[in-house]
Structure 1
Amino acid sequence: MTEATQTVRRAASEDFRAAMARFPAGVVVVTTLGGDGVPRGFTASSFCSVSADPPLILVCLADSADSSTAFAACDRFAVSVLGPEHQVLARRFATKGADKFACGGLSRTPGGLPAVAGALVELDCQTHARHPAGDHTILIGKVAGTRLGEDTLTPMVYYDRSFRLLA
């Protein structure tokens, strides 16, 4: 069968998830303070740069996430790029119903937002836009501050539904 005569099959949800699991992605924790001053956050692998001028990033948040209400209203947030030493923290921030801020491993950005202590990169962002996208919201942030961790650190990636290390 030639490419022109192939039939396109609608991707079943599980097929789509399996396909996306084969795309390696960096791992970040995204945090903010809710309107009540309580810290909120989530783990994401759907994160990328959007623009260099102005500096914009995007991260995708499931509408079903515990923190979706806080991020629907926040005017700023922080992104922490994780290394392998943050695996336990990444799992905690990915677990629905978990007390994500109870077990330590966190610090504060200069602007007072919660962040991951010792992250490879820390970005302070002002909320630039939100876009609904299926069962997620695309959160776009304008980067207001950047802090780089030690350059000897190794990044962590998420691949095939597991945290992995780059060799």
Structure 2
Amino acid sequence: MTQQIAPQPDSGEDFSRRFRNALGMFATGITVVTTRTSAGEPIGLTVNSFNSVSLEPPLIVWSLANSLPSRELFEGCEYYAINVLAEGQAELSQRFAGRMGEKFAGLEIDEGPGGVPLLKGCCARFICRNTVRHAGGDHVVFISEVIGFDRDERAPLVYFGGSYRRLAP
């Protein structure tokens, strides 16, 4: 049943939950953004706020919550990778969505510029130069130049309505 769209006067928790549920009606792919700290430690996190901005020059956009402890590390890195997860990689999505633990333990990775970790078995991987950051409400918005990429003919991991989904053949 469709409801009438009306201005939302409240900004409380109920509004935030309803807004998040409405946003969940947009199907997205799932990515893991990876980089290395200045000490050389690999870090990564699951992100579904990823999109293309421009083909000439090649630019992408993604966002990161201000509340995450890794925010400053991603803001300060020179390069990072966007790893677009394939259908069978839901476990990787969940692993990198958590805030604790050694996320790279037992993973075989490739390396990009500056040793940026590249996950194996993905649909696509984009190596990006960290160029522009903007404040965006409770997030930081990254707009970055793609300096390299690869792709594989795999079905993507899709997220819709709070669940992982599969594309119909």
- TM (norm. structure 1) is 0.89
After TM superposition, give the deviation of residue 111 of structure 1 in Å. Answer: 5.3
Structure 1 position 105, deviation (Å): 4.8
Q: What is the aligned residue count?
A: 160
Distance in 1, matches of 2:129 and 2:110, equals 19
| Letter paired with 1:163 | Y
1:85 and 2:88 aligned: yes
Task: Note if contact 1:49-1:56 (Cα within 8 Å) is conserved in structure 2.
Answer: yes
> Is 1:139 the counterpart of 2:138 in the alignment?
no
Residue 107 of structure 2, aligned match among 101, 104, 108: 104
The code of the aligned residue for 2:8 comes to R
Cα gap change, 1:118 to 1:110, in 2 (>3 Å): farther
- Percent of counterpart pairs with the same letter? 38
- CA drift at 1:110: 5.9
Aligned residue in 1 for 2:8 = 9
Alignment map for 1:20-59 (pairs within 5 Å): 20-59=23-62
Label 1:16 to 1:7 Cα distance change in 2 as closer, same or farther (>3 A).
closer
Given that residues 89 and 105 in structure 1 are in contact (C-alpha distance below 8 angstroms), is that contact kept between their aligned partners in structure 2?
Answer: no
Q: 2:155 is matched with which residue?
A: 154
Structure 1 residue ranges without an equivalent (≥5): 1-5
d(CA) in 2 for partners of 1:115 and 1:56? 19
Q: CA deviation at 1:65?
A: 2.1
In 2, the alpha carbon distance for the partners of 1:111 and 1:85 equals 28
Amino acid at match of 1:104: L
Take 1:105 and 1:92, find their aligned partners in 2: how far apart are those partners?
A: 14
Q: Secondary structure at the match of 2:60?
A: strand
User: Which residue does 1:71 correspond to in 2?
Assistant: 74
Q: For the structure 1 residues 64 and 125, does the alpha-carbon distance in structure 2 shift closer, same or farther, using more than 3 Å as the test?
A: same
The superposition leaves residues 93-116 of structure 1 with CA deviations (integer Å, 9 ceiling, x where unpaired) of 011123211131533236531011
Residue 164 (structure 2) aligns with: 163
Q: Aligned AA for 1:8?
A: P
2:85 & 2:146 partners in 1: Cα distance? 18
C-alpha RMSD over aligned residues? 1.6
Does structure 1 retain, via aligned residues, the 8 Å contact 2:36–2:115? no
